[in-house]
């Protein structure tokens, strides 16, 4: 799996989970202590996210970190 491909899949998964929770990028960013534009950049695969920020997002989405990487659930 190429680096770009995993970023795309990860971004799609974040968006999917965020929307399932009914959160905007701004709301997720605020709750996770991250800027809303950063959330958008992650979802568009424009940023390489750090492990620390992955943990913050997982916490706010109320999922295990492994759920963020379960790309089999992407539509």
Tens of pLDDT along 23-47? 999 999 999 999 999 999 999 999 9
CA 41, CA 26: separation in Å to the nearest integer? 12
Considering the segment(s) 3-61 as one domain, its CATH architecture is Orthogonal Bundle (1.10)
- Rounded to an integer, the average pLDDT of 45-69 is 97
Tell me which residue has tokens 């997720």. Answer: 28
The pLDDT assigned to 4 comes to 67
Q: Quick one: how far is CA 75 from the chain centroid?
A: 15
**Rounded Cα gap, residues 24 and 72, in angstroms:** 23
């Amino acid at each position: 799996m190429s680096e770009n491909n995993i970023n795309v899949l990860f971004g799609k998964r974040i968006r999917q989970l965020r929307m399932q929770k009914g959160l905007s990028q701004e709301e997720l960013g605020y709750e996770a202590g991250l800027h809303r534009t950063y959330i958008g950049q992650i979802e568009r695969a424009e940023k390489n996210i750090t492990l620390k920020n992955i943990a913050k997002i997982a916490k706010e989405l109320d999922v295990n970190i492994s759920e963020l990487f379960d790309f089999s659930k992407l539509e």
